[in-house]
Amino acid sequence: FHYFALRKMHFLLHARALAAFPGGFGTFDELFELLTLIQTGKIAPIPVLLYGREFWNRVVNFDALVEEGVVSAKDLSIFTFVETAQEGWDVVQDFYRDRD
């Protein structure tokens, strides 16, 4: 895709899960766009896997977002921290197994 916004839209419409690894602004853009769309009910929930809890908790203070009232504690259940590929795969399988 020539335009990033168009690529992101197609990615978000067709994704069955998102695996986010430590990254920069592009990673944050895609991740937070997806979290917002799920949070606001604009798209159906999918598994959102954040690889490397230590990284994510260091760069995003999720607890502070709740304390400041800008997200609810329930919103933190939209994503799951994982450390290994197997752990991530298990989360995805459990997510879709529970929906069958």
pLDDT at 8: 85
Q: At what angle do helices 4-14 and 25-39 cross, to 10 degrees?
A: 50
Domain assignment of residue 60, given as a range = 4-97
Distance of CA 86 to the CA centre of its chain: 17
pLDDT at position 73 is: 97
**pLDDT at residue 1, rounded to an integer:** 65
Number of domains in the chain: 1
What's the pTM value of the predicted model, to 2 decimals? 0.90
Q: Three-class SS of residue 12?
A: helix
- Residues 21-55 have pLDDT tens digits of 999 999 999 999 999 999 999 999 999 999 999 99
CATH number of the domain encompassing residue 43? 3.40.50.450
* Plot region of 47 (φ>0 → left; ψ -120 to 50 → alpha; else → beta): beta
Residue 86 host element (H or E): helix 85-97
| Residue reference for tokens 């419409």 | 13
